[in-house]
Every structure is written in structure tokens, then in C-alpha cells.
């Protein structure tokens, strides 16, 4: 059912005026959650795959640029988690329910961004928390979360940072509800790492590695070699990529995988195959001021 987590009551004063009363307990009508997979199993199963759900009309309408999914992508990459899907949906209850249920069923680690009501702020020290009002209703939406009475509350509301009142709500064991505000999203996600690191295929957190190669050859010229290379390294979990850099004199080839030693063993072969060189960043071998010349044409 939907229930207000009592744990929140002792955390709310951390970010608001300590002299104000704590928000009153509210009684919410029961509402069944969408049928999904076993929450108990999802809390403990290994994390191999991830999905990101960005919720917000403002993103779809072009008013706001989504920076949270790229941040999550880097977060997952650093931990060796395969981010399989990113979706952007409107602030529509039916759309949210469908997407959350589907992602929870298909992926091990799901993160949502936004779609949970107005974000609280400590900028209203004299706000009336006792008298019913539209403003109070809006604020209390931020402490209404899906709650399963059969699962310990501390597993469903993760207070990951001592100096932050806002928790990460965990639904069905693998859906992590985060606010859309990038500053909060990023900080909460980083503090979530210790809570999931033991469930990763690589608990030491070595993550995934990406090797870059700069080549003067066009993509069509290296395609036959890269096709053969991809077939060769696939059994070792390595992916091969080719990325044209339009308007530049050099293109980029990538190797991505978890086995760093094996990747290192491929460097000389790939450099010869693409007539290029391993680099730390794509523009490392660009001629001086090439970009200025390109844009001046």
C-alpha cells in the first residue's frame, strides 16, 4: 500500500528550520502496487544490468536538458554494470506504472529520475505545517512513497548521506526513486554505491575499461578488420566500436570490456590493424588548430 514512512519524520528537520513543527502524520488510502517480480529476491540478487527512467514533461518539451541519464551511464560504466536502456516518459501515472513494472522485471538495477512531485526546500522557514493547504499537500507528496509492510522499512528508504534528509525510496527491491534535480540525483547516486557494491559481479569495483585508438583511416577502410576483431574478442566479453569524427582528419576505434589485461594484450595488434595509435582522448592526435580551420570553411 501507499504509506508515509515514519523514518522520514526524524529526518525532515535536518534541512528545514528546526523551530518549526514536524509535518503531521497523514492517513493515505490503500493502493495496490503493480504486480512485479519478487521484491525479496530483487533486494539480494547480483547486479549485472541497469535501466534508467527519466520522468518529466519538461524534458520531452525541450525546456530542460537531461543530464541525469549520462551521469548514471558513467556511474554504471565505472562499476561494470551494463546500462541497457534509457527512457524518457511524461508525467503520466499510467506511463510511469507501465515503464517501472517492465524495467523492474527485465533489469537488475533500475533508477528513476523525477516525477515524484515538487522538491522540498529549506527556503520557507515560516511555512505552516499544521493547517491544510494546497502548499502543504504539495510538500507532503514528497514523503508519500510506495511501501510494502512485509519488508523492513530501512530497506525501502535508504538514507545514504548523513547530511541529507531526502532518502532513496526502493520499490520492489530494485527500483530506486531519485529526484530529478541533478545536484541531488548525483549526490544520492554516489552515496548509494556502498549499498550495492557487494552485489556487483566485480565487488572490488574495478568496473569496465575503454581503450581509444586514433586512426587516419576512414571507417569503411577499417570495417573489415574490425569485423574480424569483434568476432575474435567477443568470447572474452570485449566490444569493438568505430566512431567517425565528422570534419576531422582522424577517427576513433574503441575496445570496451572488464578484462584489462586482455585489453592491454590487444593494443599492438589493433594499432597495426587500424594504422593508428592508442590515445587517452579522441583529439589527442589532432593537428593544431584543426578545429578552427574546419569551422572557418
The DSSP output letter for 200 is B
Asked if 281 contacts 213 with a C-beta cutoff of 8 angstroms, the reply is no
pLDDT higher than threshold 50 for residue 4: no
Name every residue whose Cβ is closer than 8 Å to that of residue 170 and which is 6 or more positions away in sequence: 43, 155, 156, 157, 158, 176, 177
Q: Where are the alpha helices (DSSP H) in the chain?
A: 39-44, 57-60, 68-79, 93-106, 134-140, 153-156, 182-196, 219-233, 260-273, 290-296
Confidence at residue 40, expressed as pLDDT on a 0 to 100 scale = 80
Instruction: Compute the distance between CA of residue 236 and CA of residue 91 in angstroms, rounded to an integer.
Output: 41
Residue with the bigger pLDDT between 11 and 212: it is 212
Of 274, 251, 264, 284, give the one whose Cα is nearest residue 211. Answer: 264
Of 111, 116, 66, 105, give the one whose Cα is nearest residue 88. Answer: 66
pLDDT higher than threshold 70 for residue 51: yes
Asked if 241 contacts 253 with a C-beta cutoff of 8 angstroms, the reply is yes
Confidence at residue 289, expressed as pLDDT on a 0 to 100 scale = 64
Lowest mean pLDDT among 153-162, 196-205, 220-229, 239-248: 196-205
Question: Reduced to 3 states, what is the DSSP secondary structure of residue 120?
Answer: coil
Confidence at residue 99, expressed as pLDDT on a 0 to 100 scale = 95
pLDDT higher than threshold 90 for residue 74: yes
Q: Give the pLDDT confidence of 229-260 residue by residue, as tens digits.
A: 999 999 999 999 999 998 899 999 999 998 99
pLDDT, mean of residues 60-69 = 93
Q: How confident is the model at residue 173 (pLDDT cuts 50, 70, 90)?
A: very high
Confidence at residue 117, expressed as pLDDT on a 0 to 100 scale = 64
Lowest mean pLDDT among 22-31, 76-85, 282-291: 22-31
Annotate 143-155 with b (16+ C-beta within 10 A) or e (fewer). bbbbbbeeeeeee
Confidence at residue 238, expressed as pLDDT on a 0 to 100 scale = 94
Asked if 193 contacts 79 with a C-beta cutoff of 8 angstroms, the reply is yes
Lowest mean pLDDT among 55-59, 102-106, 111-115, 289-293: 289-293
Residue with the bigger pLDDT between 35 and 238: it is 238
- pTM of the entire structure? 0.72
Asked if 20 contacts 4 with a C-beta cutoff of 8 angstroms, the reply is no
pLDDT, mean of residues 171-192 = 93
Q: What is the dihedral of CA 274, 280, 283, 289, to 10 degrees?
A: -120
Residue with the bigger pLDDT between 39 and 21: it is 39
pLDDT higher than threshold 50 for residue 81: yes
Confidence at residue 16, expressed as pLDDT on a 0 to 100 scale = 31
Q: Give the pLDDT confidence of 84-137 residue by residue, as tens digits.
A: 999 999 999 899 999 999 999 999 999 999 887 665 655 566 778 788 988 788
Amino acid at each position: 500500500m501507499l504509506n508515509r514512512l515514519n523514518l522520514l519524520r526524524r529526518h525532515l528537520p535536518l534541512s528545514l528550520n528546526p523551530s518549526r513543527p514536524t509535518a503531521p502524520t497523514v492517513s493515505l488510502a490503500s493502493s495496490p502496487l503493480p504486480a512485479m517480480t519478487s521484491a525479496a529476491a530483487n533486494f539480494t540478487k547480483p547486479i549485472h544490468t541497469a535501466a534508467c527512467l527519466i520522468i518529466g514533461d519538461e524534458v520531452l518539451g525541450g525546456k530542460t536538458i537531461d543530464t541525469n541519464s549520462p551521469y548514471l551511464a558513467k556511474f554504471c560504466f565505472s562499476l561494470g554494470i551494463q546500462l541497457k536502456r534509457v527512457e524518457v516518459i511524461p508525467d503520466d501515472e499510467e506511463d510511469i506504472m507501465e515503464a517501472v513494472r517492465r524495467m523492474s522485471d527485465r533489469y537488475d538495477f533500475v533508477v528513476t529520475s523525477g516525477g515524484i512531485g515538487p522538491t522540498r526546500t529549506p527556503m520557507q522557514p515560516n511555512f505552516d505545517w499544521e493547517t491544510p493547504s494546497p502548499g502543504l499537500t504539495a510538500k507532503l507528496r514528497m514523503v508519500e512513497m510506495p511501501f510494502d509492510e512485509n519488508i523492513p522499512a530501512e530497506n525501502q528508504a535508504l538514507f545514504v548521506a548523513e547530511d541529507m534528509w531526502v532518502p532513496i525510496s526502493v520499490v520492489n527491491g530494485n527500483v530506486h526513486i531519485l529526484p530529478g534535480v541533478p545536484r541531488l540525483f548525483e549526490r544520492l547516486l554516489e552515496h548509494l554505491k556502498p549499498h550495492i557494491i557487494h552485489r556487483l559481479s566485480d565487488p572490488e569495483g574495478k568496473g569496465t575499461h575503454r581503450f581509444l585508438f586514433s586512426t587516419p583511416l576512414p571507417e569503411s577502410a577499417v570495417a573489415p578488420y574490425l569485423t574480424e576483431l569483434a568476432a575474435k574478442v567477443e568470447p572474452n566479453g570485449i566490444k569493438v566500436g568505430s566512431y567517425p569524427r565528422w570534419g576531422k582528419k582522424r577517427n576513433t576505434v574503441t575496445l570496451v570490456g572488464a578484462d584489462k589485461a586482455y585489453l592491454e594484450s590487444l593494443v599492438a595488434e589493433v594499432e597495426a590493424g587500424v594504422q593508428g595509435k592508442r590515445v587517452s582522448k579522441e583529439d589527442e592526435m589532432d593537428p593544431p588548430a584543426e578545429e578552427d580551420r574546419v569551422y572557418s570553411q
